[in-house]
Amino acid sequence: MLLIFHAIFMILAFLLMLTAVVIAHFLRKKKWWLKIHKPLGALAGISSVLGLVFTVIFAATGGGGHFQALHSWFGISAFLLAIAAPILGQAYLKGGKHRALLKKLHPMVGGLALLLMLLSIIMGLRLAGFC
């Protein structure tokens, strides 16, 4: 059951982040885009935290080893980037002397997180015997 919750929250995180990226990329000219983009990114980060929590509980209760599969490494990398992307976005919006760098880093980190999430989901489904 823990792995089912893990999968649900990680897939939800992927879908939330994908929606945030699509809105930022294709609907940026709309006045409302940022009001939707920001909470979607934050919810994606929260969902990935919840997914990670279920995995840690699963591993701690004897359900599996730590970082024995490539899925785990891609997953933890995606998790860290999914947390970093909204932080970088907020830092960019606050301005400061590194604003230009943050403007470039935020979408790169978000896109890489999205890619790693997708790869991790595919690997996880393969580990679970779904493909």
Read off the CATH number of the domain in which 65 is found. 1.20.120
23-82 residue pLDDT tens: 999 999 999 999 999 999 999 999 999 999 999 898 888 876 667 789 999 999 999 999
Q: How many domains does the chain have?
A: 1
d(CA 75, CA 51): 10
CB 63 within 8 A of CB 19: no
Look up residue 24 and give its two tokens: 């930022």
The tens digit of pLDDT for each residue in 15-35 reads 999 999 999 999 999 999 999
Coil/strand/helix, residue 98: coil
Q: Can you give the residue range of the structural domain that contains 35?
A: 2-127
Contact 81, 113 (CB under 8 A): yes
Give pTM, 2 decimals: 0.90
- Contact indicator for 10, 118 with CB cutoff of 8 Å: no
